[in-house]
Each structure stands twice: as C-alpha cells, then as structure tokens.
Amino acid sequence: MVAFGSTQRKNVRILLVGDQGVGKTSLILSLVSEEFPEDVPPKAEEITIPANVTPEQVPTNIVDYSSTEQSDDILKEEIVKAHVICIVYAIDDEDSLERITTHWLPRIRSAVGEDQPQKPVVLVGNKVDLVDYSTINTVLGIMERFSEVESCVECSAKTLHNISEMFYYAQKALNLFQRRCFNTPLQPQILDEVKAVIQKNIPEGIYNDSVTLKGFLFLHCLFIQRGRNETTWAVLRRFGYNEQLEMCKDYLRPSLKIPPGSSTELSHRGQQFLVALFERYDKDVDGALSPEEHRMIFSTCPSTPWSYSTDIRKSCPVNENGWVTLHGWLCRWTLMTLLDVTKTMEYLAYLGFNVHENDVQLAAIHVTRERRIDLAKRQSSRSVYICHVIGPKGSGKTGLCRGFLLDDMRSLIGKEFKTNVNYCVNTVQVYGQEKHLILRDIDVKHALDPLQPQEVNCDVACLVYDTSNPRSFEYIARIYIKYYAESKIPVMLVGTKADLDERRQDYLLQPVEFCQKYKLLPPHFFSLKANKKELYVKLATMAAFPHLRQFGLMSDDPTIWWKAGLGVAAATVLGFVVLRTIQGILYPFI
C-alpha cells in the first residue's frame, strides 16, 4: 500500500536514551564537532541541525536524556514528543544490551500508551572500537520480537565510525512517493481530497488511512479518463518505463566505473534489501525458499537469474531438501555480483530496490580498491575472494569444491561427478571476520592445453594433485612454474585423497621439495573422509594477506597464521549496519 496519508514533517525530533555511561552524549558531541570530546558533560544541550545540511532538507532536533539530571516525568514527555527514539547501548557492556528489552523498550511502550502507534526505534551500539566482535545477531533477534525496532547500527563516538549514518537514517522524512515522482510533496488538504474520492468509489481502496493497490490503480484510471495521461506517464517514467512500456536500459543497468584490479561486492544496503526480500517470501518461515517460493520472488522478472534445480543446489549451501537457505541466498547473490555485477543491478531493479531504497542500484554495490593497493598495504580490503582450483582429471578437485558447501563432506565419498561445478561459494571466518570464498573449478580437458588469462588470474590459486597417483603432481608443478612462479598470486598446493597410501611422484622434485625450492607453504593434505574445513580457511587467509608468499614460509606452524592475523586487529574495525525501513518516518511504503 502507498501511504499517501503521510505528509512531510516540518522537523524531525530524535531522542537518545540509554544507560548511564554508554556514550549518548559523546555521540551527539562527536556528530557536532566531528571529533571525540575529551571532557564529556552529564548531558548535551538540545541541538538543531539546519534543514540545508540534512538529507531531506528538514530541520532535525537531537535531544539527549540523562537519568542523573532529569526525572521520569521529563523522560515520558520527551518520548511522547519524539519522532524517532535511539536506544544507545555499549557493545562491550552486556548489561546495557540486555536492558534494551528488559527496561528501555517496555518503558517507551508504557510512555506512548497501548492505544497509540508505537514510536520507531533505532538501536545504536556504541564503542565498537573497543571490541573485535559484533552484537548484530543479538540485535536482530530483538528486532524480530519488537516490531517498533526498525533499524540498528554499530558505531564509535571515539573514531567517528558510522556516526553520520546513525543520524542519517533516523532523520529521513515522509511522503517519499510523491516527492520521488513529482519532486514536490502533496499538501494535507489535497491528500484528504484524493483519499475521499477513492473511498467514495472504491471502499477497499483505503485501508488504515493509506491507499491500497486497488485504490492506486483506480486513481490512475481516473487520471486517464479525465485526460490527465501525463500524470500516469510521469509515474511510469520515474519507475523506469519507456514509451513502449519496457524498462529502460539506463534504469536497469546504471553506469558503474570499475577500475582495473578492482572487484564488485554487495554493500550493506544491498545485503539488507536481499535479506528482507528473502524473509518476505519465506511464507512458512522455515528459513529456506521452496521451489515455489523461489519462483514467486522472481515472478516480476523476465526470467530467473539462475537455475533453481541445478545451479542453486550445486553452487551454494542448501538445506536437507535441497532448498536454498538465507545464507545460501546471500552467497548466490554474492557470486553473481562478483562475476556479473550488471546482471545483479538489473535484477535488483526488477525486484524493486529502486522503489524501497529510493536510490539507484549503485547503492547496493561496493567497488573494492585495486589489488595493487592491497599488495602495497599488505592486506586485502575485500570481503569476497575467488580461488581457482586447478588440477588434472581424477585429482579430486571437484570433490574438494563440492565439499565446501557441506557440513559433512563424507557424503561425497564414492560419488562420481559427471559434470563439473563451475563455482561453489560459502563463507569462512578469517580472524573473526566473515569472508565469502568462491571456488572455481577450472575444467582441464587435456593436460597440454594452455590456461587462458581468465583461468589464471584470481585472489588465490589452489593447485591440486592426487597423492595416490604417481603421475598427478607433474601437471600442477608445470602449471605453477609456467603461470604462477613470477606472479603475485598466493598459491597453495593440495594433496588430495590423503586417506590412501601416498605414492612417490614421477617428477624430478617431490611435493615437499618443490615447495621448499619455490618458498611455498608445505602441501596441505586433504581427504573427504577427514571432514575438516581448515583448507578453506587457509585459502581465504592467503587471499586476505597476499604478501604471505613473500615471507618464504617453510613450515605449517600455526603461529604463522596467527601472526598474519595481527594486521586485522590493528587495521580493521568490524562494523555492521542493518538498515530497516522506519515505517511512517522513513518510507511512505507499507
């Protein structure tokens, strides 16, 4: 339903509440001065952000609350006056997080009253600079239990991380549809007249003081009957349709500049939109999309972007029924965004990202910095890595790729793979951070066939040989010397079928000697029977730290991997932004 009944506010009032010491006042002062205050008063004075510096050109009042200086009655008054309430908690303080549900949300509900609409709430986790973990999973659980919680953000008043984002999403204004199409809000009197006309002709056209789909279509039929065709055309053009009622190429595929050596990933806004889409169509709330639910998601698209019966089941995690889970859903979109970002943007347009986010699909895409900069800084800034798995036929590389998707790889033992899986994508933890790793199974038809540049270039290469086959290692040894010895791409040699008797390889150097000569890590021995996942973590870690190969590491000492991870803690602040529509404040769509 389109909430024509929502008019643009003259101002937006944001109230910050939370336990003492969580950093409410510091957040406000950091926003205003753009630096962390050394001396923090018990309470910040109310501040007003002028309309000309806010995203929606609406003055924004930010109000601080102090339990030591203000009474419960004053708190109740401020809650009633506020348009949005930010509950601040300290990420390093479990008690302040727990009190969101035991104290603050019940208190806000009580102040508003049961017979009144609840105030939109934003949960704000401060002091993210003090920890190396996230509370986002806990907060998502709170959002599911309390419908008034519309958004959450983790930030730091000290480092200014996500400070502006926190207030930006709390101060968005109303009447978005009218402004989106005609660049001007409807006046309240005109809104009432429009709704009265709809109500008179189609009673079901108005529901909860908002226009339903039937009412919206009736309104446009009325425009056309009265010769106001330009109104309907203005709406159609604004939502991407041309004179042939086909979606414009520029609308589907906005121009995106990708520098050489950069890659494309889903942004936080893109991920949040896809999560909401998944949850909307998971009708039985079983955490997976059945074939019918999957078909319904893409019912507004010319076709599905992938095959559900084959592609999904072979390329990303699924449940025991072979249905894609939320985790697998995000993995599959991550894969498409890396390989074909134009296709991702096109399908996001079909699925309504432009409508719900009021922005072009570029907001759903993150372009990473160039790989040469990653190498210079000795750490990758990416969260999605592609690993090429190369080896002779029969070496077990396809099983290695398929095993990445399964909790129990042993189920693959004895299976024959008639067709290769081109790509398999899943997530791994690299020093506490979730990374997507994409395994590409390079199809080798003949041992003498040269590899193409697109088959060589990747974030990390996994060269696979069969430890039980004496003729297996020679192929990957020649591949390494020809394509990778002089490159800056990290390489891991993997000996598969490690549960079988190891055979001496018919090559001038044995695998361990080969690795010593070329200053590679010793071969990693892999077996489906062992059902261990550390290989995938190592591959992602090497992609994250491409300079590892420059260390000349000669052992599989676990402290090597620990030392490499020190750069993560020193250089990266882990932050998540989960952005939900603030109904009645942020969006005029229900």
Q: Between these two residues, 204 and 222, which has the higher pLDDT value?
A: 204
Instruction: Give the pLDDT of residue 143.
Output: 81
Burial of 73 (0-12, 13-18, 19+ CB in 10 A): exposed
pTM, full prediction: 0.61
Edge-first strand listing for the sheet containing 433-441:
423-430, 433-441, 384-390, 460-466, 491-496, 524-525
Q: Between these two residues, 585 and 364, which has the higher pLDDT value?
A: 364
* 173 has a pLDDT exceeding 60: no
d(CA 251, CA 241): 8
DSSP per-residue letters across 100-135: IIIIIHHHHHHHH-TTSPPPPEEEEEE-GGG-SS--
Q: What is the pLDDT of residues 525-536, one digit of tens each?
A: 999 999 889 999
Amino acid 124 reads V
Cα–Cα distances in Å, from 25 out to 85, 123, 420? 14, 15, 57
Instruction: Give the pLDDT of residue 68.
Output: 84
Q: What is the pLDDT of residues 526-573, one digit of tens each?
A: 999 998 899 999 999 999 887 665 444 434 454 444 444 444 443 333
Computed from CA positions of residues 262, 267, 270, 275, in that sequence, does the dihedral angle turn out positive or negative? Answer: positive
CB 326 within 8 A of CB 319: no
Longest dimension (CA), the chain: 89
* 586 has a pLDDT exceeding 60: no
Instruction: Give the pLDDT of residue 477.
Output: 95
Long-range contacts of 554-563, Cβ-Cβ distance < 8 Å, separation of 24 or more: 554/516, 554/519, 554/522, 555/522, 556/521, 556/522, 556/524
B/e letters for 387-413, b = 16+ CB within 10 Å, e = fewer, are bbbbbbeebbbbbbbbbbbbeebeebe
% of the chain beyond a pLDDT of 70 = 82
Centre a 10 Å sphere on the Cβ of residue 320 and count the other Cβ atoms it contains. Answer: 6
Question: What kind of fold does domain 387-550 have according to CATH?
Answer: Rossmann fold (3.40.50)
Residues 569-588, mean pLDDT to the nearest whole number: 34
Instruction: Give the pLDDT of residue 478.
Output: 94
- Among 159-163, 421-425, 586-590, the range scoring the smallest mean pLDDT is 586-590
Instruction: Give the pLDDT of residue 575.
Output: 34
Would you place residue 70 in the very low, low, confident or very high pLDDT band (cuts 50, 70, 90)?
Answer: confident
For the chain, how are helix, strand and coil distributed in percent, rounded to 5? 45, 15, 40
- Whose CA is closest to 526, among 560, 552, 497, 503? 497
d(CA 258, CA 271): 20
Instruction: Give the pLDDT of residue 421.
Output: 57
Instruction: Give the pLDDT of residue 578.
Output: 31
For 494, the 3-state DSSP assignment is strand
Instruction: Give the pLDDT of residue 553.
Output: 41
- Whose CA is closest to 150, among 579, 577, 590? 579
- 34 token code pair: 């753009």
d(CA 480, CA 464): 11
d(CA 537, CA 558): 12
**The residue to which tokens 């676990």 are assigned:** 558
Residues 295-312, mean pLDDT to the nearest whole number: 88
Centre a 10 Å sphere on the Cβ of residue 27 and count the other Cβ atoms it contains. Answer: 26
d(CA 285, CA 306): 23
Q: How many CA within 13 A on the CB side of residue 129?
A: 10
d(CA 263, CA 457): 13
Amino acid 102 reads T
CB 171 within 8 A of CB 63: no
Residues 308-320, mean pLDDT to the nearest whole number: 86
Instruction: Give the pLDDT of residue 420.
Output: 55
Phi, psi of 332 (to 5 degrees): -70, -40
- Whose CA is closest to 327, among 336, 314, 338, 317? 317
CB 22 within 8 A of CB 93: yes
Instruction: Give the pLDDT of residue 207.
Output: 80
Residues 448-461, mean pLDDT to the nearest whole number: 90
d(CA 346, CA 360): 11
Instruction: Give the pLDDT of residue 186.
Output: 58
d(CA 117, CA 109): 9
Instruction: Give the pLDDT of residue 267.
Output: 92
d(CA 520, CA 557): 13
d(CA 43, CA 15): 12
Question: What kind of fold does domain 254-368 have according to CATH?
Answer: Recoverin; domain 1 (1.10.238)
- Among 204-218, 304-318, 485-499, the range scoring the smallest mean pLDDT is 204-218
Instruction: Give the pLDDT of residue 317.
Output: 93
Would you place residue 516 in the very low, low, confident or very high pLDDT band (cuts 50, 70, 90)?
Answer: very high
Instruction: Give the pLDDT of residue 507.
Output: 95
Q: What is the pLDDT of residues 133-154, one digit of tens each?
A: 888 878 878 887 887 887 778 8
CB 93 within 8 A of CB 18: no
Instruction: Give the pLDDT of residue 95.
Output: 94
d(CA 277, CA 581): 13
How long a stretch of residues is the chain?
A: 590
* 236 has a pLDDT exceeding 60: yes
Residues 225-248, mean pLDDT to the nearest whole number: 74
Q: What is the pLDDT of residues 368-422, one digit of tens each?
A: 988 888 878 777 788 999 999 999 988 999 899 999 999 888 877 767 666 555 8
CB 132 within 8 A of CB 574: yes
- Whose CA is closest to 442, among 397, 473, 490, 476? 397
Computed from CA positions of residues 211, 10, 239, 329, in that sequence, does the dihedral angle turn out positive or negative? Answer: negative
For the chain, give the mean pLDDT.
82
Q: Which residues pair with 106 in a beta bridge?
A: none
- Among 80-84, 102-106, 202-206, 579-583, the range scoring the smallest mean pLDDT is 579-583
Query: For residue 580, what are the contacts with CB-CB under 8 A and spacing of at least 6?
Result: 143, 149, 150, 151, 152, 272, 276
Q: Between these two residues, 582 and 304, which has the higher pLDDT value?
A: 304
d(CA 378, CA 458): 17
Q: Between these two residues, 187 and 28, which has the higher pLDDT value?
A: 28
Three-state SS sequence of 247-293: ECHHHHCCCCCCCCCCCEEECHHHHHHHHHHHHHHCCCCCCEECHHH
* 230 has a pLDDT exceeding 80: no
Instruction: Give the pLDDT of residue 296.
Output: 93
Q: Hey, which CATH number is domain 182-239, 3.40.50.2300, 1.10.238.10, 1.10.357.10, 1.10.260.40?
A: 1.10.238.10
Question: What kind of fold does domain 12-174 have according to CATH?
Answer: Rossmann fold (3.40.50)
Instruction: Give the pLDDT of residue 354.
Output: 77
Q: What is the pLDDT of residues 157-168, one digit of tens each?
A: 898 887 776 765
For 417, the 3-state DSSP assignment is coil
